[in-house]
Amino acid sequence: MSAVILFLAVLAVIAGWWLSQQRLTAKPWLEEGPAGDFPGSDAMTWPAAKVGLGVFLAVASALFVLFISAYSMRMSVVDWRPLPVPRLLWVNTGVLVVSSVALQWSYAAARRQDTEGVVIGLLAGGASAVIFLAGQLLAWQRLGAAGYFVASNPANSFFYLLTAVHGLHLTGGLVALARTSAKMWRGADIAEMRLGVELCAIYWHFLLLVWLVLLGLLTGWTDDFVNICRQLLS
């Protein structure tokens, strides 16, 4: 559970920093009058949807960190047999990077007021995300064909579980992306669409980051790192 505690500590630092900006030491019973008279009491200038996405990313991170905690605790039991990670995953990772880059490009186009660029970016990002998901399913199929079933070893179980949870999050993102693209298609004003495109791009970067961490765990690349952390903590 140390991964979760570490994650919560990071969140606590962020929350503490934010709270420190909020004048929690004010004496409200003495401060009568309009808010403008007191420094540092304004609401955040971010749009609500962006704050909402930020909070959601914190929740989703908590979910993944908890899965990772469970992974690392279950891993230390003797029956753990790491499975050979299909090489296809590297291709998939590349596709997901392309997807993320495409959405970032789309966001840059939105900032330039370049409608065509936005549409191309959104479509390329969505298409490559779909290819990524198809690739993940193909990887499952290959593993199954090679005899690595979900219940035959905890390493397999975690592989299927983690990829599935990540894939479901990406599927949810695709729904949002489809809605944004549909609005774009119906000819919404590009200034209105900028926020939607930006949020999609942020979410995609988040999922890319999560995927890289998961990939590191599943392929065992981060084993040395995890061991060092474990020794530091114990």
Min dist CB 54 to other proteins, Å, is: 9
The distance from CA 13 to its chain's CA centroid, rounded to whole angstroms, is 20
- CA–CA distance, 40 with 16 (Å, rounded to integer): 15
Which is closer to other proteins, CB of 94 or CB of 172? 172
Site residues (CB under 8 A) for other proteins, limited to 125-144: none
Q: Is 2 in the site for other proteins (CB under 8 A)?
A: no
Residue 73 in contact with other proteins, rule: CB under 8 A: yes
Q: Assess 74 for contact with other proteins (CB under 8 A).
A: yes
Asked if 175 touches other proteins (CB under 8 A), the answer is: no
Q: Which residue's CB is nearer to other proteins, number 58 or number 188?
A: 58
Q: What sign has the CA pseudo-torsion 56, 61, 67, 69? A: negative
Neighbours of 28 (CB within 10 A): 8
* CB of 3 or CB of 101, closer to other proteins: 3
The answer for residues whose C-beta is within 8 angstroms of residue 48's C-beta and 6 or more apart is none
180: nearest Cα among 192, 171, 168, 170: 192
Q: Which of residues 76-95 bind other proteins (CB under 8 A)?
A: 77-80
Cα separation, 234 vs 230, in Å, equals 6
Residue 88: which of 77, 96, 80 has the closest Cα?
Answer: 96
Q: Which stretch binds other proteins (CB under 8 A): 59-67, 86-94, 195-203, 206-214?
A: 59-67
Residues that bind other proteins (CB under 8 A): 1, 4-5, 8, 11-12, 15, 19, 22-38, 41, 43-44, 46, 48-49, 51-52, 55-56, 58-59, 62-63, 66-67, 70, 73-74, 77-80, 150-151, 154, 157, 161, 165
